[in-house]
Copies of this chain bind each other. A is one copy, B any other.
């Protein structure tokens, strides 16, 4: 274990002062060319790297962003995360990640762990538990401690901060309108995430679209549950009904309805058109591939990182007002919906 090189060390070995070394390494014009070169070469030789912790202490900034994500196994969050990571790196920031696992306690704990100077700001998507319990003290505390927060996807109206969201409601309207154009007569609405704000928005968008198209909103064609298990339990009953179109609010619901339909010998898309919210590569790999509402995860992440860093680096007099950025979704038509022949 060799000693890590420090300014002090180098100064002693070169018989100059610490500040000379510091200035030489930062290429200050105060220092003469010869000493600069001498110092710089010696530093390279010793593989000197300025201790980041010390620099952070001086700067009162760590150039680090805390990211709190409910579940990294969800490909949507994974995509957003990779967007955050990229944008942050591009601007010289590191990313500390915590996975809340949808638990309020872990979310609070993570924020406390990091709210002591470890990170300059947070990017997060609210855990399910925090969302159902409408618990948001910990977010407000961070903000009032002068640690900015950017929320994405799952947001809390009660908290004033920057936000990046998808136009869930409108996207659902759009998707259902598409099913209507495909002449689906009995459109089912499926959700396994009705406990989340985004789930509710999408479901409401679907209902709105049905009403606007003069469809009757038939409760027998609607499954709104909070978990995949509860969803699966209700799925069989759905097939008692004569459905020819499905709008699924989440990936699980979309895939399971297709799986069931295939088992029953229902032809997709000839007899049943399916559209679902989904990211990941898997919608493409399915047989038939799933037509999706794609949420542009990486863009969401990039926007969130940009907003946060812009705020962090804003000069005192030009701190931006809180903003909510809406990222447009895209309807990706694949094999689970018929081609529109208009």
CA distance A19 to B260 in the complex (A): 68
CA distance A257 to B26 in the complex (A): 57
Verify B72–A78 contact, CB threshold 8 A. yes
Verify B81–A72 contact, CB threshold 8 A. yes
A321 on interface, CB distance cutoff 8 Å: no
Residue of B nearest to A279 (CB): B73
A271 on interface, CB distance cutoff 8 Å: no
What per-residue 1/0 map shows which CB atoms of A94-129 lie under 8 Å from chain B? Answer: 111111000000000000111111100000000000
By a CB distance below 8 angstroms, the chain B residues around A50 are 116
CA distance A53 to B118 in the complex (A): 6
Verify B282–A263 contact, CB threshold 8 A. no
CA distance A283 to B4 in the complex (A): 48
Total copies of the chain: 2
Q: Which one of B57, B85, B98, B281 contacts A53 once the chains associate, using CB atoms below 8 Å?
A: B57
A52 on interface, CB distance cutoff 8 Å: yes
* Chain A residues touching B, range: 35 or more
A98: shortest Cβ distance to chain B, in Å?
Answer: 7
Residue of B nearest to A57 (CB): B53
A119: shortest Cβ distance to chain B, in Å?
Answer: 9
A286 on interface, CB distance cutoff 8 Å: yes
A49 on interface, CB distance cutoff 8 Å: yes
By a CB distance below 8 angstroms, the chain B residues around A280 are 73
A51: shortest Cβ distance to chain B, in Å?
Answer: 5
By a CB distance below 8 angstroms, the chain B residues around A263 are 287
Q: Which one of B47, B54, B82, B94 contacts A114 once the chains associate, using CB atoms below 8 Å?
A: B94
By a CB distance below 8 angstroms, the chain B residues around A112 are 49
Chain A residues 37 to 70 lying within 8 A of chain B, measured CB to CB, are 47, 49-54, 56-57, 62, 64
What per-residue 1/0 map shows which CB atoms of A122-149 lie under 8 Å from chain B? Answer: 0000000000000000000100111000
A181 on interface, CB distance cutoff 8 Å: no
Verify A118–B146 contact, CB threshold 8 A. no
A267 on interface, CB distance cutoff 8 Å: no
Chain A residues 161 to 211 lying within 8 A of chain B, measured CB to CB, are none
| Given A56-B53, A96-B95, A287-B287, A145-B85 contact (CB < 8 Å) | no
Verify B282–A258 contact, CB threshold 8 A. no
Residue of B nearest to A146 (CB): B1
By a CB distance below 8 angstroms, the chain B residues around A1 are 146
A259 on interface, CB distance cutoff 8 Å: yes
A-B contact pairs, 23 of them (CB 8 A): A4-B145, A50-B116, A51-B57, A51-B116, A51-B117, A52-B117, A52-B118, A53-B57, A54-B117, A57-B57, A64-B96, A72-B72, A72-B78, A72-B85, A73-B75, A73-B79, A89-B98, A94-B118, A96-B96, A97-B97, A259-B287, A263-B287, A286-B286
Please give the residue numbers on chain A whose beta carbons come within 8 Å of chain B beta carbons, in ascending order: 1-2, 4, 47, 49-54, 56-57, 62, 64, 72-73, 75, 78-79, 81-82, 85-86, 89, 94-99, 112-118, 141, 144-146, 255-256, 258-259, 262-263, 280-282, 285-287
Please provide the 5 A-B residue pairs with the shortest distance between their CB atoms, ordered closest to farther: A49-B116, A52-B116, A51-B117, A255-B285, A53-B117
